[in-house]
Structures are given as structure tokens and as C-alpha cells.
A and B are shown apart, each in its own frame.
Chain A
Amino acid sequence: MPMVKMKCDELIPERYKHIYYTEKERSVIPACNIATIPGDMTERGCAFAGARGVIGGPIADVIAMVHAPVGCAWYTWGTRRHLSDLYTWATPTRLTNVAFNRRYCLCTDMQEKDVVFGGIKKLEQSCLEAIRLFPEAKGLIIFTTCTTGLIGDDVQAVARSVEKKTGRLVFTAESPGCSGVSQSKGHHDFNIQFYRQVRSLKERRPELKMPETEKTPYDICLIGDYNMDWDLKAVRPLFEKMGLRIVAVFSGNERIENLVKMPDVKLNVVHCQRSAEYIAQMEKDGYNIPFIRVSLYGIEQTCKALRETAAFFGLEERAEAVIAEEMARVEKSLAFYREKLRGKRVAIYVGGPRVWHWIKLMEELSMQVVAVACTFAHEDDYEKINARAPEGMLVVDAPNEFEIEEMLTSTKPDLFLTGLKEKYLGRKMGIPTVNSHSYEKGPYEGFAGMVNFARDIYQGIYAPVWKFQWGLDSTPGMKERDGLCS
């Protein structure tokens, strides 16, 4: 078995089954999506973060009502950079400074007495007040957390009652932080609950369906794109130029009325296949809507995605035209970066799917991926990683802080693509990082985004600061990576 026994895991050997080297001949699947070891300094988040922060948050025109003590709401307020273009009015003549979904943070602020006596009354009152305060919101999503999950507040009853009283669309996302083993559980919860609620909503209110007159033969849904740093600006036009109509994006910068029309399309194009493939699968079972899995990172993969989507509708020629036009725009810049980045070694640590989305992209930039790690990947993610990975790449599932450090010291990458919490670890070791969750200066998707991504990688590796890190007495050109740890 190509499993790896990291030195830092000698005393928690149950971690051994999570770490391996890739092999070309066979696909090794590590233990994954299982309970975290307490006290191992995990980087994982909670299910509530997955539901509220990742999938529910990007929806542009709904109120996110966090039914919890203040912290859960405060931490998810304006945190993840899923941007939107829908702004509410700040004053009679001015729109707010940031979009509606990141401008306000609403919560029931559960106090001790609410915990003891139940928070349902407070929740209902809060929802009614919120709708009065923000009449421009088209709907409301109630998120539960550990506190309200543990005391067993019946939020569905509240949702029905608020819907009856106000006529707004009210959804619930019950995903307490202590459910499941990571954020991934929250993605799953939201997908299932949203699908079911939309289904019953359409039965109750058929007028919300897409009218037959509006339908076109080229209707698609883009599933699992959250408009990080305006990714949609880079990819939406690609599909539209091919003559397709994106009815809804699940859920980046999307309006709730469009999300209700999701089951009325011809094809689902699934980008994030970890956090949102569930809903595509359910629509396939429930509404017979086929779906394809795509990757919109990197030139080669974006081309493949456009071609496959076009093939479904018989638009191959238009796809080729779009690809040719886009390639012409970026070729020169990418050639510059390919040259500069040739042979550089990269380590990637993200939630899960972006690892395999990016392996090909790094190869396109003539770089070499030496180690990857995922916070909440499942078996199918590892299959995809193995299919794309070079021989002998280190893979760590649900790494903890110590393992990340050991991964960096043993593989000695020139660049570490990672999120906000871990980038500072890499930085203290003198390894450049690029923020891979919210991006440095995105968007990174599609053709134009690829140039941004390459530029940020280049800026990371070539920043003058790294020359100074070896101290006062170092000699010019010293790149003593072996001195990384004492």
C-alpha cells in the first residue's frame, strides 16, 4: 500500500489511513469523510458553515436569518466573498456600499432564557420584523445551528406560518454545526432540503413555474458556482455566446425566483461536484434533467466544458468559435507565465474539488503538483484526483495543522495554494501562498480568469520579499530550503 506514515502522526496512528502517494496503476482511496480526531488541530469547519456560508449565502435577494446566538451570524457576515450585483437603497439617492447578501447580518441572538424556553416565538417575531425592515427581499432562509438544533426548535412550522402571514418564500436550512464531520454535511443538507422545499412549493404555487412561453430549447442551469470574486463575469458570457440561456446559477448571485425554476431546464452543468452535485442528482431522478460534470478552471478544461455542453445541444460550431476567440485573447499572456513558472513545484490545500480542478491547470502553466490536501473530500473526489494526478504525489485527507507543516517541509513546494487560515503557516515557513478560497485578485475561472490566476501565482513566487527571509547574514541567491525546519 502506498500509504504514508507521517512523523507527526506517530501518536495518532489512526491518521495513517488518510495519507498516501498516488500511483499510476491503481487508484488508492484513503479513509475520508469520517469523524475528525478530537484535538488533532484540524482545519475543518462545521456543517452550518457549509449551509450558510457556502450555499445559502450567495443567493442575492433573500434574507439569511440565522437562528442562533450572535456568534454564528457574526462569523458568517461578509466572510466568504460570494459577490452579487443586487443592492438595496441606503438613502433616498444612494445604493448600499456592498450587495444585499453581504451587507446585512440578521439573527435571533438567542439568549439563555430563549434556550431554556425555546426560541420559536422569538424566531417568528424576528422573521416578521425582518420582512418589514427589508421589504425588498423576495424571500427568507432560516438557518439553524447547534444551539437551536439541540433544543429542537420546530423551524419548519415557523417557516410555514411566516409564509402564510407574509406571502414571501420562506425556506429552512437545518444544518447544526455538530451534524456530520465537516462543512460537507452542510452542503448536502442544504441541497436536499432546498430541493424538497422547492418541489413542494411548486406544487403549492404552480404560478412560480417557468411559463411555457418563456422556455427555450437552450435552457441550462449552472450548478455549484458561487460567484467568488465575480467568477460569473468570466464564465457566464461563454455559455451565452454559444447561444445557451443560463436560467439559474446554483447559487452565486442568483435570485430566488430563478432558483425555483431550476427544474424547468434542459440540462444541468455541474461545476462544484462536491457541494452541489446532490441537487443535480435529485433533479435527474425527480425531473429527468440530465447533468454533465465540468470544470471551468484552466484553458483545456474550460474548452472541454464548453464543447461538452455544446454537444448536448448540437452547437459544436459555435463552441469552437467562442473557444477560438477566447484563446486569441489570452494566449500571449499565458505564454509569458508558462515560461516564468516552468518547473515550479506547487502544493494545493483546499476544500476538496478544487484540488482536482487545478491539477490540470498547474500542468498548463508548466508547473508540477507535488502535494495536495483536502478538507472534506469524499471517495469520488479522490477518484478524480487519482485520475488527474502525476505519479508519486502526496495526498492528505482532512489534514491537521501539523501535517500541513510536515507536508510542506517534506515536499518543499515553491508555492502553496491554500485558504486564509493556513496561508499564514506557509508564510512563516517562507513559502509564498495564493488565497485559493476567496482568491487574491480574481476572478480565476474561465479564460480571462486563468490569466489572473497565473499572474497571482507569478506574483507569489517572484515577490522580492522571499530573498530577504534568510536573515541578515545570508548570501545573495541563497535558497536554502533544507533550512526550513530545525
Chain B
Amino acid sequence: MQLKEIPITGIPYDQLYIEKIPAAPEYCRRPAELLPAGNRSVVVNPNRTCMPLGAMWAVLGVHGAIPFVQGAQGCTTYVRYTFCRVFKEPATIATASFHEDAAVFGGRRNLIEGIRNLVVRYWPELIGVVTTCSSEIIGDDMVSFLKMARANLRKEIGPERADGIPIVLVNTPSFAGSHVDGYDRASRAFVETLATTRNKPNDKVNIIPGLLYPGDIREIKHLLRHMGIEGIVLFDISDPLDAPLQPPVSLPYKPPGGTPVEAIRDMANSLATFALQPHAGQAGARYLERKFGVRAVVGPPPIGIQGTDAFLKALRELTGKPIPENLRQERGRLVDSLADTFHHTMMKKVAIMGDPDVVLGVTRFVLEMGMEPVALAGGTASKTFDHDVEAILAEGGYAGDPPLVVNGGDLLEFEEHLKQLPRVDLVIGNSRAVDIAKELQVPLVRVGFPIYDRFGYQKRAVVGYRGGEVLLAEIVNSILGYQYPDDRTHQL
């Protein structure tokens, strides 16, 4: 900052020198017995957030739907903030704005007035009411409150219009589960509330994508289109959360696209439901299976060769339609890319963190590249995660040292484990792993939710064969860029 003159470009970051001051004179080892998350009650750097976020994500994927959050303002503002950071899009979410009075007298007034205000100004196609820890602790009787809110609406705007707006209640107390479970619960709440009759088979397949980005959902639709199969993608955020800049916009701003309410009603008539991410969507798929006999196909996430193969084969088996030549060519191109790059991926030690399904899908894919997983951290505690990891390792013929598997837990355990290892080549995970990768001095390949420190990840796919190529390229180039002297890369 000792510039004689500040140029018109201002103070560039490199001129703003910040001297790091160590908080302690030297490194001291953290107590070993406190490192496994199971040995302590404090959680350091959680690998998950709370349920309402998942439910709001789901509601935003429905056409013209607005989430209404029964809680304090922060529950909404923080989630909107997160969505805006990740998707670089507006996120329209209403809140009941709990103040002290709601905490004392309950949230009935807030809900009834809030629903009314939301409807008469925004005219949403659907309202997804999302609860929070405060409303659950107070013990708000949401079902009867919603009846009152509906009666109140009928008085003001007439029964026909009032009844034309479905309200879906998702119970998401934050003191249980995680955002993944919130999405899972939303998948069940939506089909339970809307898909109430099986009257005429529609020959479609339901897809519950889970917490996948717009780019991923577009890739799934691409696969369906080429299979000649009509799909109903539940919670289709691909348009609402990746909208074009094309003024004029109508006021109030309503994002384009999303799953039409009618399509959700039709889900009971479908051939099958694919829950691409078992932890986020299985509940909805299982419900439809139990209630209407719509077959549930749960997982695996269509990441990499085998994951995508399994998805396409299941589609083929279900509809009897062949897998077309152009998808086979896409697969061939991914295989070709694996053949072109295995010299740089084989035996590389990789650590993966994120939501459980992302971790499982990516683990299967890196095994296809010949990598060796050294640590796998799934943020949401899961009954099946450990078993799934074992199955994937066995199926991939993995014979190396067993990786550390963090099921739930937190990132402190994950990162301290990595710091003790003799070697790690690569970290794959979301933006919460940036510091870990930087401190290990290894590249980070960003996959999963949230990614807020780089641009464009929400717009591109990692699922499908084409997504696999993108992800493979990024993994390989990270390794090359980080570890190879330039003259080694002249003849890849």
C-alpha cells in the first residue's frame, strides 16, 4: 500500500500484502483421541447443513412454486444466500418472520397471514411449507394451521382460486438429519400430497434427481430423449436456477421452468421412479411403489461408466427400448478418454468428501480410473453408507489399504487423517474442501454441493457419459497441472 499514486486500476490484491501471524509459536499436535468425530460431542467443520435447505431446494424445482418457511428470518435468508452463492440466480423464498411473539404464542398468526400475503401478491402455482426447528419445538400444529390458512384464503379470494393453489407441507426440524434428508422428505411429501390417484398409465418414468445441479439434470434429460422415453423430472431446477438474462422481465420476477404441478400429479401413473441419489429421493420413490405399485429403482448415481450403464440398462429393461447408437458412442468416447489418461490416474491417492451419494458415485468412477481412495467422507449419517462403500470397493476389485470412511462425522476427522498420511494426490469435493486441499498442497476437483468459490460448476454435468468426460478431464488436468514438470506434458 506504499504506492506513490493509486492507479486507476485501484489496489490490486497482490499489492495488498497481508502478513500471516501465527496464532501459536509452533505447531502442536491435536489430541489424537479427540480426532474421530465419534469420540467427541463438538462438531468441527460439519460436512452437511440442516434439513430445511433441502426442502427449499426441492420446492424451487417446481414450476411457479414458492417455499414458505415457518421459522425465523435467518432460516430463509441464509438458505437464499447459499442458493444465490451457488447458482448465481435469484431465489424467491418467503418467510413467516418469527419474532418473540411467535416464539411465545406459536406461529399460527404468522402462517395464516403469511400464506395470505404470499398468495395475493405473487399468485404462486404451489406453496411448499417448510418447517424449522423453532416451529417444531414450539409444537405448531401445522396441519390445522394450514386448514385455517386455506379457510382464510377462501374468504378473501373465493373458494375456487383458493383451492387452486396446492399447499405441500414438509416437516424439516433442523435438529435431525441434514439437507439431504430434507430433500428426501420433500420428495415424499410432494408425491403424497399431489400424486393421489393412479387412473391412466402414462408410459413415462419418474426421475427424482436428488441434489444435482442444472447441468446434471439437463444431461439426464438428454439421456432420456435419446432413449425415446418421456420422463417426469421431479424438482427440475435446471431452468429456474439457471435462467437467461433477457429483459424485459415481468414483475414480480418468476423464474422460468420447473416441474409442472400437473406432471407431479401424474407421477402415480408412471412406469417407474428412478431415485438417482438414494439418500435424496428414495422416500418419494418408495412411497409410490407401496401405494400405487410404481416400481422404485433406487440408485446408483449415474456417474462414470458403470453408474450410467446401470441407469440406461434399467431404462431399457423397463421400457423394452434399445440403447441407441449415439449413446453407445458417447460411452465409447468416455472409454476412449479413460484409455487416453489412465497413465496419469492409476494408483493416484484420492480423498473424496460431500453428500453420501455424490461420494459413492464419484468413488465408483475414480475406481474406474484406477485410483486409490484413501478417505471417503459422506456428510449425512446413513445406515447404508459403510456397506455401500465396501460393495463398491469389492466390485471395483480394489485391493489396496482400506480407506478411512467417515459416515456423518465432520471434516476435522477427515482432514487430520489426510494430514497424517504419507501421500495424497488429489481431493474431490465441494467448496468446503478448499482449505484442506490447499493445506495438503494438492489439487481440488470440485463436485457436489455447495460450490460457491468458482464459476460455472452448476451449469455443467458430471452425470452421464458426457459428464464423465468433463469430470475426467478436470481430474486429469488437475493432476497434470499440479504435479508434472512442463516437459513431461508435451507428449501425453
Contacts and interface: CB of A to CB of B under 8 A. Distances in A.
A75 B73 contact: no
Interface stretch (B227-235, B328-336, B431-439, B464-472): B431-439
A192 interface: no
B371 to A, nearest CB: 23
Interface stretch (A125-133, A270-278, A352-360, A378-386): A125-133
B62 to A, nearest CB: 17
Interface string A29-49: 000000111111111111111
B314 interface: no
Interface in A378-407: 401-402, 405-406
A8 B52 contact: no
Interface residues of A, number: 123
Interface in A305-331: 328-330
A431 to B, nearest CB: 9
A156 interface: no
Given A38-B117, A39-B94, A89 B27 contact: yes
Contact of A233 (B1, B5, B75, B80): B1
Nearest to A113: B175
15 contacts: A35-B97, A41-B121, A41-B252, A47-B74, A71-B49, A72-B174, A90-B419, A107-B42, A130-B44, A149-B103, A178-B100, A182-B73, A405-B252, A421-B90, A485-B249
Interface in B1-37: 1, 3-11, 13, 16, 18-24, 26-28, 30-31, 34
Interface in B383-414: 412
Interface in A13-66: 35-49, 61, 65
Interface string A212-226: 000000000000000
- In this complex, the member of B72, B78, B92, B132 whose beta carbon has the largest number of chain A beta carbons within 10 angstroms is B72
A428 B253 contact: yes
Given A8-B251, A70-B49, A114-B175, A95 B1 contact: no
Given A74-B46, A133-B42, A424 B89 contact: yes
A108 B41 contact: yes
Contacts of B5: 328-330, 332-333
Contacts of A100: 23
Given A71-B78, A85-B19, 4 more contacts: A87-B21, A93-B27, A107-B43, A233-B1
Contacts of B22: 87-89, 95
A150 interface: yes
What size tier do the contact residues of chain B reach?
35 or more
Contact of A336 (B8, B89, B90, B95): B8
B73 A69 contact: no
A49 B121 contact: no
A154 interface: no
A425 B41 contact: no
A11 B121 contact: yes
B78 A455 contact: no
B318 interface: no
B111 to A, nearest CB: 7
A146 B71 contact: yes
Contacts of A105: 44-46
Interface in B77-100: 77-82, 84-85, 88-100
Interface of B: 1, 3-11, 13, 16, 18-24, 26-28, 30-31, 34, 40-46, 48-53, 68, 71-75, 77-82, 84-85, 88-103, 109-111, 113-118, 120-122, 132-134, 137-138, 173-176, 178, 243, 245-253, 412, 419, 434-435, 438-439, 441
B241 to A, nearest CB: 10
Contacts of A337: 8
B461 to A, nearest CB: 22
A212 to B, nearest CB: 27
Contact of B245 (A8, A44, A427): A427
B421 to A, nearest CB: 12
B178 A70 contact: yes
A469 interface: yes
B41 A136 contact: no
Nearest to B178: A70
Contacts of A42: 73, 95, 97
A63 B49 CA distance: 20
B16 A230 contact: yes
